[in-house]
Amino acid sequence: MIETASAEKLEKIFSQFKGLRDELIPIMEAVQDEFGYLPAEVMSSIARFLKIPESHVYGVATFYALFKLTPSGRKTIRVCRGTACHVKGGARILNEIQHLLRIKPGQTTEDMEYTLETVACIGACALAPNITIGKEIFGQLTTKKVAEVLGDRSKSGEKRE
C-alpha cells in the first residue's frame, strides 16, 4: 500500500497524462524523477492507471538501464571500463573505490551517499583512467588520487592487508 504523501505525488503525476498505454515510459520517467527510483508499489499503481499487466511495467523497467528499482545515493560514481581506461589501470581504480566504499557496482553505500556504476565509456579517453561523480570528471587517476577524490570516505576504509 502506498503511503498518503506518495499517493498524492503519484496522483499529481498521473493528472498530466491521459492513461494511454504509450505513455508508459514518460510516466515512469516522471515517477523516477519524483521518487528517485521506481518503487514496486508505484509500478503496480502505474499498471493500474494504464490498465496493463504489472509484468509489462516491470519488463520495461528492467529492460532500460535508465530506470532504477532501488534508491540511488546522492552521488553516483561512474567508473569507465573503456579500452583506454582499461589499458591505463581502470580495473585498479574500480577495485580501490570498491575497497574504500565497501560496495560493488550496482550498490549504494549504507549512508545513501554514493552509488557505484560502471560504464562502457565516459568519452574522456585522453584523461584515462577516469571516473565521474555526478557531472564532474576526474581523470588520470591513481589509487592514491581516488582516496583524495573521495576525501573523508577513504579514511573510514579498512586497512589493506
Burial code (b: 16+ CB inside 10 Å, e: under 16) for 72-96 equals ebeebbbbbbbebbeebbbeebbeb
State the CATH number of the domain containing residue 48.
1.10.10
Do 103 and 134 share a domain, yes or no?
yes
Do 129 and 90 share a domain, yes or no?
yes
Do 27 and 84 share a domain, yes or no?
no
pLDDT digits (tens, 9 = 90+) for 55-83: 999 999 999 988 999 888 999 999 999 99
Residue 99 lies in a domain: yes
Rounded CA Rg of the chain: 19
The pLDDT of residue 3 is above 90: no
Residue 160 lies in a domain: no
The pLDDT of residue 122 is above 90: yes
Residue 158 lies in a domain: no
Residue 107 lies in a domain: yes
Domain carrying residue 54: 4-63
Residue 159 lies in a domain: no
Dump the DSSP string for 29-91. Answer: HHHHHHHSS--HHHHHHHHHHHT--HHHHHHHHHHSTT--SSPPPSEEEEEE-SHHHHHTTHH
Do 89 and 129 share a domain, yes or no?
yes
Residue 138 lies in a domain: yes
d(CA 106, CA 76): 10
pLDDT digits (tens, 9 = 90+) for 82-111: 999 999 999 999 999 999 999 999 999 999
> What cell was used for 82?
573503456
Residue 9 lies in a domain: yes
Q: What domain count does the chain have?
A: 2
Q: Give the model's confidence band at 160: pLDDT under 50 very low, under 70 low, under 90 confident, else very high.
A: very low
- Its pTM surpasses 0.85: no
pLDDT at 153 (0 to 100): 57
